Structure 1
Amino acid sequence: MTVERIGLGGGCHWCTEGVFQALKGVDQVDQGFLSSTSPWDAWSEGVVAHFDPAAISLATLVEVHLRTHSGSGTYSPGGRYRSAVYIFDATQSTVAREVIAAVAAERDEAPRTLVLPLAGFQASEERYRNYYRTDPDRPFCRRYIDPKLDYLRRQFADLTRP
């Protein structure tokens, strides 16, 4: 099995972690803070997803990311909730840009999710990791993560874990 990695940032990392842990083919999700190169070197919340490209494509992961967070809403591109795909190589950059452009065109809006090289990762404190898995009944989980997981089960049913 080949394992690839992709960084994903947008909104709360608890939500992003819960979404990508629910997908078949994603073997590990590291929650924390990601940074890129200047001027995008400020730490922002996100995850690094480890996935098997034979089970789930990078294009699908990027599409899921775009459809489960507000990458087109008001946010600070340089801030804590930066909407971004953090890439590890040029091939990932091409795929991410194509998917971002396609989803933006579908929505008839300018693409706002950034494609950035991953320059650094700092894991969240242990007590925040696996946030949804450890207590899905938390009010935060019910309000913010459950609707994203419901969307996944409807729109990407063949790719979600039971």
Structure 2
Amino acid sequence: MNIQKITFGSGCFWCTEAIFQTVKGVKKVESGYMGGTTKNPTYADICNGDTGHAEVIGLEYDADEVTFEELLLIFFKTHDATSLNRQGNDVGTQYRSVIFYYTDEQRAKTEAMIARFTQEKVFDKPIVTEVSPAAEFYKAEDYHQNYFNDNPSKSYCAFVIQPKLNKFAKEFTEKIKPELL
């Protein structure tokens, strides 16, 4: 196995976690916080927007099963990378679109994909995704982990996460773990 790490922020981490948990080659997904100044932030701390952290998912993937470019494409296609500090009704810097990279190669591939999408006018508006070096990852509280799978009948899961998962499954069927099909 060729295990690599990447950290994505694309709004509420419950949505992002639910999507990437289904991707072939993704071995581990944890919801957490990154990119701020407060040590050991809690959900309550970051909700006020004063800590500078984003809600993120830290993921580990087998680069022999799924490429970094495939993960980037899924990231960009499953949220609005043109919306500054907002995803749907979730508003604030903690919901910003951000990629925290671990290697120069990840940074270069991310910047190249953004440049390509911009040149090809893939989106109607400019991409505002922040591309920053990974900082300390703070794992979110236990009740945030595996949220969708543990709470599928909660209204946020049914009305926000499930439609995103359905859209993802329709567009990326070949990327879904076979046991989930």
Is TM-score (shorter-chain normalized) higher than 0.5?
Answer: yes
1:56 pairs with 2:66: yes
Which of 123, 126, 134 in structure 2 is aligned with 1:118? 134
> Normalised by the size of structure 2, how large is the TM-score?
0.81
Pairwise CA RMSD: 2.0
Offset from partner CA, 1:16-71 (integer Å, 9 cap, x none): 1111101111000011101169xxx8211011110011111111111111111122
Aligned pair in 2 of structure 1 residues 138, 62: CA closer, same or farther (>3 Å)?
A: same
Cα pair 2:9 2:54 within 8 Å, conserved: yes
SS at match of 2:122: helix
CA contact (8 A) 1:88 1:117 kept: yes
The whole-number CA distance in structure 2 between the counterparts of 1:74 and 1:82 is: 6
Identify the residue that residue 4 of structure 1 maps to in structure 2.
Answer: 4
Q: State the partner residue of 1:89.
A: 103
Q: Which has the larger radius of gyration?
A: 2
One-letter amino acid of the structure 1 residue matched with residue 29 of structure 2: V
Instruction: State the AA in 1 paired with 2:116.
Output: A
Contact 1:28/1:49, CA 8 A, preserved across alignment: yes
* Rounded Cα–Cα distance in structure 1 between residues aligned with 2:62 and 2:139: 22
Q: Match for 1:134: what amino acid?
A: D
Distance 1:155 1:36 in 2: 33
Q: Percent identity?
A: 28
Contact kept, 8 Å, 2:36 with 2:54, in 1: the verdict is no
Gapped runs of 5+ residues in structure 1?
Answer: none
1:102 deviates by 2.7
SS at structure 2 position matched to 1:59: helix
Alpha-carbon distance between aligned partners in 2 of 1:53 and 1:66, rounded to the nearest angstrom:
19
Tell me the CA shift for residue 147 of structure 1: 1.4
Query: How many residues are treated as equivalent by the alignment?
Result: 159
TM-score normalized by structure 1? 0.90
Look up the match of 2:57.
47
- Runs of 4 or more off by more than 4 Å in structure 1? none
